[in-house]
Amino acid sequence: MPFFPDSPRPRRPLRLLAPWLAGALPLVLGVGILYWQAERDLEASASNTANQALAQFDLMLDNVAAAANELAPLAGQPCAEVTLALREQVTRRPFVRSTNLGLDDHLYCSSLFGDISEPINPGDYADGRLWLMDGNPVTPGQALLVYRAAQDEQTALATLDGYHLANALRMIGRDQPVLLQVGNSWLAPNGSVHDAPSPAFAVAPTQLASSRYPLSVSTGYPAGATWQWVASHPLLLALVVFLALVAGGVCRWLLRRAHSPRAELARALDANEFIPYYQPVVRGITGRWAGVEVLMRWQHPREGLVRPDLFIPFAEHSGLIVPMTRHLMRQAANDLRAHAERLEDDFHVGINITAEHCQDLALLDDCRDFLAGFAPGRVTLVLELTERELIRPTPITHQLFEALHNLGVMIAIDDFGTGHSSLAYLREFKVDFLKIDQSFIATIGKDALSGHIVDSIIELSGKLDLGIVAEGVEDTVQRDYLVERRVEFLQGYLFGRPVPLHALIDQLPAP
């Protein structure tokens, strides 16, 4: 059946590729949407984290700044007199680790040690207010954030322990790293201070600056975090894969359906690719043309002329045989009508009909259409019913065959001898001819048993008063044998092969 899969539209590589493309489309789209969703989700999460961290640092610094601002007006007073005030701020205010007073950029009093003497460099402080230190002489190596409140020559410093800051970074940034940036230094969640620009995050990089203090927090995710998010949603991924499989499967199914034998036959029918060939049937005794058998051929655009036994079974199976036969009958009627004057009177036109075609009265209309236009008595339509597929008798078939008989349509049993028709069957369907199957004719003179079957069929037809046609007559030995037994009609390559209309017209005897 090479002409079905190799049908010209669309090309085979495209047909093989199409389901994969149809499956890939939802896959690419679905994964793309998931990736986009992951980016949005990570951005929202990073922004949320940065906001939380910023709020926490602002809150801590509010306490520290309040302590420094409250102490600054005391700067200049003797240390012994303000030490209590300095310590009270440390005790009273959360997050404040120590407080100091200075005058003219010189520290002179500390909550920890009382009198001290240290220079203050305002340039160390971002915006003159905040300094992220990596430690001081009291706690070297431990981060410290110093807030400076300066009013003219008076200065107060309040410090915030880096432990609180690092702890907040770790707590808030459980799912992603958060960094605190003050001036040119940044604090990592492990409490280490780095004097360099903070590292850039590959995914959803987010930096938020405080509106109250000269600090900012930055957060984000490392490279590959987006795909990790996608992989952490297996249900969504499974849905995408499921949709891709469904799309690929549906596409494959549609393509297969579009290129099923039925679809290909339907296309060919629409394209008028089924055409009639005609094989002569001659009279046994005179050898003159008695008529033709119409045999279907498929003029395939790529495969050329296709034999009926390669596609008729599919046509029968798919239910297209009836419209195909109807189409063939119309073409044959048109062909022969155009040359009616070349046909002998009572010219027999045999057409193969399937049992399915006999299930309703539409066949009667098809026969009427065929005969219309021919002068009465010019042609005799012979419906050939194969003995291999017997018709089930019903009230409709009874009515149909009665009407066909009245219309003058004759019935022949094709391939006779290969099936199981009975005497009752021959009567039921008002059979007029038996066509002896060519397999028996081929053995004439070679196989005594088959010769005996041929003789029996001839004898039977005589007794039942049925006409007889011998199919597949290929040589003169067969012809002479049949003529000797008074077989009325002969058909076979000896007299002519099935040919298209123009060749038939050339072969027709002159009027």
Ligand X SMILES: Nc1nc2c(ncn2[C@@H]2O[C@@H]3COP(=O)(O)O[C@H]4[C@@H](O)[C@H](n5cnc6c(=O)[nH]c(N)nc65)O[C@@H]4COP(=O)(O)O[C@H]3[C@H]2O)c(=O)[nH]1
Check if the beta carbon of residue 122 is closer than 8 Å to that of residue 128: yes
The residue (of 161 and 264) whose beta carbon lies closer to ligand X is 264
The one segment of 162-170, 173-181, 261-269, 304-312 that binds ligand X by CB under 6 A: 304-312
Q: Least distance to ligand X from the beta carbon of 487, Å?
A: 14
Provide the 10 A C-beta neighbour count for residue 188: 18
User: Exposed, middle or buried by CB within 10 Å (0-12, 13-18, 19+), for 375?
Assistant: exposed
484 binding ligand X? (CB under 6 A): no
Residue 223 tokens read as 């490279």
Residue 163 tokens read as 């432990």
Q: Least distance to ligand X from the beta carbon of 353, Å?
A: 7
Q: Give which of 189, 303, 289, 251 is closest to 25, Cα–Cα.
A: 251
The one segment of 177-185, 186-194, 224-232, 320-328 that binds ligand X by CB under 6 A: 320-328
Q: Least distance to ligand X from the beta carbon of 435, Å?
A: 7
Residue 65 tokens read as 């700044």
Q: Least distance to ligand X from the beta carbon of 359, Å?
A: 14
Q: Least distance to ligand X from the beta carbon of 401, Å?
A: 18
Angle at 264 between CA 322 and CA 302, to 5 degrees: 120
The residue (of 241 and 275) whose beta carbon lies closer to ligand X is 275
328 binding ligand X? (CB under 6 A): yes
Q: Which stretch of DSSP H or E encloses residue 88?
A: helix 79-92
Angstrom distances, CA of residue 285 to CA of 434, 437, 455, 460:
18, 20, 17, 20
- Provide the angle, in degrees to the nearest 10, between the axes of the packed helices 234-258 and 12-71: 160
Q: Give which of 137, 160, 175, 145 is closest to 52, Cα–Cα.
A: 175
415 binding ligand X? (CB under 6 A): yes
493 binding ligand X? (CB under 6 A): yes
Residue 350 tokens read as 């045999």
Identify residues 446-475 at the interface with ligand X (CB under 6 A): 471-474
Q: Which of 49, 159, 325, 461 binds ligand X (CB under 6 A)?
A: 325
308 binding ligand X? (CB under 6 A): yes
Identify residues 250-289 at the interface with ligand X (CB under 6 A): 279
The residue (of 258 and 275) whose beta carbon lies closer to ligand X is 275
The one segment of 40-48, 151-159, 255-263, 486-494 that binds ligand X by CB under 6 A: 486-494
Q: Which stretch of DSSP H or E encloses residue 102?
A: strand 96-103
352 binding ligand X? (CB under 6 A): yes
417 binding ligand X? (CB under 6 A): no
Interacting residues toward ligand X by CB under 6 A: 279, 295-296, 307-309, 312, 321, 325, 328, 352, 354, 384, 386, 414-415, 438, 471-474, 491-493, 498
